[in-house]
Amino acid sequence: MTSSPSETETTVHPLQEFADAVAGAVGGEAKIAFDTVKVRVAPEQWVSTLTTARDELGLVFFSFLSAVDWSAEVEVGDPPGDEVEERFELLAAVGDLGAGRRVIFTTDLAKDSPVIPSVVDVFPGANWHEREAHEMFGIEFVGHPNLANLYLPDSFMGNPLRKSYPLLSREVKPWPGNVDVEPMPGGDEETTEGPSEENPEA
């Protein structure tokens, strides 16, 4: 059920061959972690990568397109820690309709000018996903037929899923559930144990 990164170092991950084949076909760099294959490509290859995935690799099912805002300074939540490469990581998940193989293609976009060609012509389903990524992250999709707001009102200012965008309700009043859980005797090592005796007639 789980596959740890340490396993992948010693034994070959069952998805390794598939990941290498995909990375080779699109000219990207594959990474497998927690049963998820990610292939990173350059932004210039974005459209050609998804076209190759659809036409040559049989990855015809469009699952989703979204982004992650990697940012050292955050207005909400916890910062990512360590040294983080400031960027938008654009994600596009596609899969096949047979063995259940799936890949998340990623590419890095610069923080100050996140611009990328639209893939609506490759996967028409990307239309709404790109509109969402546009309003939520401020990513510009060149060639998109209608890059209007999807969820947010037209007059909305800002890009809410950027890490620099504060959660306004949290600014007004601190979240009451944010109180630190009192450490148990023995600290974080304390474990809970579920019931172990069986219930004969459940």
Partner 1 sequence: MVLDQDLVRHLSESSVSVELETEDMTLNIGPQHPSTHGVLRLVARVDGERAFDVQPVIGYMHRGYEKLAEVRSYPQITTLVNRIDWVSGYANEVPFIVAAEKLLEIEVPERAQYIRLILTEMARISSHLVFMASYPLELGAPTPLFFALRERERVLDLLEGVTGGRFHPNFNRIGGVKPAYGSGSSTRKVIQDLPAGFLAETRDAMDKVTVAVDEINSLVAGNEIILARTKGVGVLPPEVAASYGVSGPNLRASGVGFDLRKVEDYLPYHLFDFEVPVGENGDCWDRWHVRLLEIRQSVRIIQQAIDGIPSGPLQAKVPKVIKVPKGETYVRAENPKGEMGYYLVSNGAQGPYRLKIRSASFSNISILPWILEGVLIPDIIAIMGSLDFVLGDVDR
**Within 13 Å and on the Cβ side, how many CA atoms surround 39?**
27
Name the helix (H) or strand (E) containing 35. Answer: none
Q: Which residue reads 């000018």 in tokens?
A: 113
Q: Nearest Cα to 178, choosing from 168, 188, 170?
A: 170
Q: Which is nearer to partner 1, 7 or 44 (CB)?
A: 7
Whole-angstrom Cα distance, residue 6 to residue 13?
Answer: 10
Figure out which of the listed residues 34, 85, 112, 176 binds partner 1, where binding follows CB under 8 A. 34
Tell me, by CB under 8 A, how many residues bind partner 1: 64
Could you tell me which stretch among 8-16, 21-29, 94-102, 109-117 binds partner 1 (CB under 8 A)?
A: 94-102
User: What x/- string results for residues 54 through 93 when contact with partner 1 is judged by CB under 8 A?
Assistant: x-----xxxxx-x-xx------xxxxxx---------x-x
Taking the complex as a whole, how short is the minimal distance between the CB of residue 54 and partner 1, in angstroms? 8
Are the C-beta atoms of 37 and 19 separated by less than 8 Å?
A: yes
List C-alpha distances in Å: 188 to 15, 79, 105, 176. Answer: 35, 21, 36, 22
> Contact between 11 and partner 1 (CB under 8 A)?
no
Binding positions for partner 1, rule: CB under 8 A: 1-2, 4, 33-36, 38, 54, 60-64, 66, 68-69, 76-81, 91, 93, 97-100, 102, 104, 123-125, 127-128, 136, 149-152, 160-161, 167, 170, 175, 177, 181, 183-184, 188-199, 201-202
